[in-house]
Each structure stands twice: as C-alpha cells, then as structure tokens.
Copies of this chain bind each other. A is one copy, B any other.
Amino acid sequence: MLGRTYGQNCSVARTLELVGERWTFLIIRDALMGVTRFDAFLTRLGVARNVLTDRLNRLVDNGILDRVQYQDRPARHEYRLTGKGRDLSPVIITMMEWGDRYLAGEAGPPLRIEHDGCGGHAVSQLFCEECERPLTVDEIAPRPALADALARGDM
C-alpha cells in the first residue's frame, strides 16, 4: 500500500511496516498488560477471529511474540512478548501519555505506568546524552546521521 519513495531509509516507516496497524498496536498493548491467550485477546479487543489469527501470526513471524505451548491434550498455546516485543513499550507508553494529555476527558487517565521497585510514576522523557538533562519537544531537531558522522570525522 505504501509508495516506494517514502521510506527506503527511514526507521519510522520500517517500524510502521511491522506494527503500524491499529489491531497490531492494541495486541501489543494488551500483551504488555499481561494478556497471553488467544481467547483473552479476542474478548478484550472485540476483533474478528481471523483478523486476530493473522495479526498474531505476523507478530510471531516478526519475532515480536513467541508462540509457546502451555498444555498438551488438547494442545494449547499462548503468546508471550519477546525482548524485541517488550522494547516496544516506549512506543505504547508515549502514545498513552499523549492520549492521557489530550484525549482522556474528565475521568482522567485510566492507567498509570509504575516503577516496579518503588511504585513511582514511570514516564517517558526526552533526554540529552551529551549534557545529561531532560529536553522538551521544542529543543530537538532531526539531522541526517551520516552527515553528522562525516562532520565528526567518523567516516
């Protein structure tokens, strides 16, 4: 569906090729919430069975979910996030934070992400690795990584 010119060399476009579909995002969201079984995804999402099967298979094929047998007779499987899958947490969390801010309505945010260790509120934060401080969205700009490497004399 997407044209050829848009993302030969763009990590956002490549990521969207794998997970850029609403059901897929919602499956990953639920998996991060601890959902593992087909029927649980089915009930929570209200998605058609064949669509769910297709999306789960794609996620397994792309190494984002592992399909693991948890019962013998009859054979039953569950879906567990791989490390690659868990590493999508920040994408889901930043979406959630934006939704909390702009779309949550009067009831307020339904969920909060917590630090397991101390129970504190875990947030996504832009951060400068050089001067080691938090940044706002107005303090950042994209630059071609190659040009940058050339300028530094790395290449």
B7, B43, B47, B114: the one within 8 Å of A140 (CB): B114
Give the interface SS of chain A, mostly helix, strand, loop or mixed: mixed
The answer to the question of A111 belonging to the interface, with a C-beta cut-off of 8 Å to chain B, is yes
When all copies of this chain in the complex are counted, the total is 2
Which of under 10, 10 to 19, 20 to 34, or 35 or more describes the interface residues of A? 35 or more
Q: Collect the chain B residues with CB atoms within 8 Å of residue A113's CB.
A: 140-143
A18-B103, A114-B140, A121-B129 given; 20 more Cβ-contact pairs under 8 Å: A2-B46, A10-B29, A11-B95, A11-B104, A11-B109, A89-B126, A90-B94, A90-B97, A90-B126, A91-B95, A111-B143, A112-B148, A113-B140, A115-B128, A115-B131, A115-B139, A117-B128, A118-B128, A124-B126, A125-B126
